Chains A and B, each alone.
Chain A
Amino acid sequence: MNVEITDLTRRFGRVRAVAGVSLQAGPGVLGLLGPNGAGKTTLLRTLATVISPSSGRIRLLGRDPGAHRQRREIRRRLGYVPQNLGYYPGFTVVEFVEYFALLKEMPPATVSRAVASTVERVGLGDKATAKLRTLSGGMLRRVAIAQGIVNEPELLLLDEPTAGLDPELRVEFRALLRELGQRATVVVSTHLVEDVGSACARVALMDRGRVVFHGTPAELSARAEGTNAAGDAPLERGYSAVLAESRS
Chain B
Amino acid sequence: MTAAPPAPTVRLRRSAGVPLPGARRLVRLELRRNAMLWLLPWAVALFGLVAHRTGAAAPPLWNVRAMSMQTGALAVFVPTVIGAAAWMGSREARLGLTDLLTGTARSRWARHLASWAATSCWALAAYLAGVTVLYAVVARQAAWGGPLWWPAAVGAATMPALSALGFAAGVLLPSRFTAPLAAVGVFVTLELSLQLIHGGRSPLQVLPVVAGPWELGTDAGVAVFHPYLPDLPVVQLMFLAGLTAALVAALGLPAGSAGPRSRRAAAAITAAGLLLAGTATALAGTGRLDEHGLIAIPALHSAAGDRPVPYTPVCSTTAIPVCLHPAYTAYLAALAARLAPVLSDVAGLTGAPVRLSQAATVYEQGPGNTVEIRMAAPRIGGTPPVLHFLLPVQLAGPTMTVDQAADAVRAEAGPALVATVIGDVTGPAQAAVTAALLGTAAPAADPATVAAARRFAALPPATRHAWLLEHLPALRAGRLPLARVP
A: residues with CB less than 8 A from B are 45, 48-50, 68-69, 72-73, 75-78, 80, 82, 84-91, 95, 98-100, 102-108, 110-111, 113-114, 117-118, 120-123, 142, 145, 147, 149, 151-152, 169, 172-173, 175-176, 178-180
If A72-B16, A91-B33, A107-B10 touch, whether A121 touches B2 (CB-CB below 8 Å) is yes
B259 touching A69, Cβ below 8 Å: yes
CB distance from A200 to the nearest CB of B (A): 15
Contacts of A118 in B (CB 8 A): 7
Minimal beta-carbon separation of B87 from chain A (angstroms): 11
- Further contacts, 10 of them, CB under 8 A, given A103-B106, A121-B7: A78-B103, A98-B29, A104-B104, A105-B22, A107-B12, A108-B21, A113-B8, A121-B2, A147-B100, A176-B1
A104 touches B1 (CB 8 A): no
Q: How many Å lie between the Cα of A191 and that of B5 in the bound state?
A: 29
Q: Taking the complex as formed, is B25 at the interface, i.e. its CB lies under 8 A from any CB of chain A?
A: yes
Q: CB distance A176 to B3 under 8 Å? A: yes
Total contacting residues, chain B, CB less than 8 A? 37
Give every chain A residue within 8 A of B29 (Cβ-Cβ).
95, 98-99, 102
Cβ 8 A contact of B10, one of A73, A100, A114 = A114
A110/B10 in contact, CB under 8 A:
yes
Say whether A121 contacts B5, CB under 8 Å: yes
Chain A residues with Cβ below 8 Å from B111 are: 103
Contact: A75 with B104, CB < 8 Å? yes
**The 4 nearest A-B residue pairs measured at CB:** A86-B96, A179-B3, A86-B97, A103-B104
Q: Is A68 in contact with B260, judged by CB distance below 8 angstroms?
A: yes
Provide the main secondary structure of the chain A interface.
Answer: helix
Q: Is the CB of B95 within 8 A of A88?
A: yes
Residues 1-25 (chain B) with a chain A CB within 8 angstroms? 1-3, 5, 7-13, 16, 19, 21-22, 25
| Distance in angstroms between the alpha carbons of A50 and B102 in the assembled complex | 6
Tell me which residues across on chain B come within 8 A of A76, comparing CB atoms: 12-13, 105
Residues of chain B whose beta carbon lies under 8 Å from any beta carbon of chain A: 1-3, 5, 7-13, 16, 19, 21-22, 25-26, 29, 32-33, 91-92, 95-106, 111, 259-260
Q: State whether A77 touches B12 (Cβ < 8 A).
A: yes
Is the CB–CB distance between B8 and A110 below 8 Å?
yes
Q: How far is the CA of A241 from the CA of B92 in the complex (A)?
A: 41
Shortest CB-to-CB span from A64 to chain B, Å, is 14
Q: Which chain A residue lies CB-closest to B24?
A: A108
Complex: how many Å from CA A73 to CA B15?
A: 10
> For residue B98, which residue of chain A has the nearest CB?
A86
Say how far A12's CB is from chain B's closest CB, in angstroms: 14
Contact A172 B95 (CB under 8 A): no
Contacts of B98 in A (CB 8 A): 86
Known: A108-B25, A110-B10. A49 touches B33 (CB 8 A): no
Q: Which residues of B contact A173 (CB under 8 A)?
A: 1
Instruction: Check B91–A178 contact: CB distance below 8 A.
Output: no
Chain B residue at minimal CB-CB distance from A68: B259
Q: Which B residues touch A99, using CB under 8 A?
A: 26, 29
Bound-state CA distance A217–B8 (Å) is 32
Of the residues B26, B101, B259, contact of A72 by C-beta under 8 Å: B259
Docked Cα-Cα span, A199 to B404, in Å, equals 88
Contact of B1 among A80, A103, A142 (CB under 8 A): A142
Q: Which residues of A contact B96 (CB under 8 A)?
A: 84-86
Q: Are the CB atoms of A88 and B1 closer together than 8 Å?
A: no
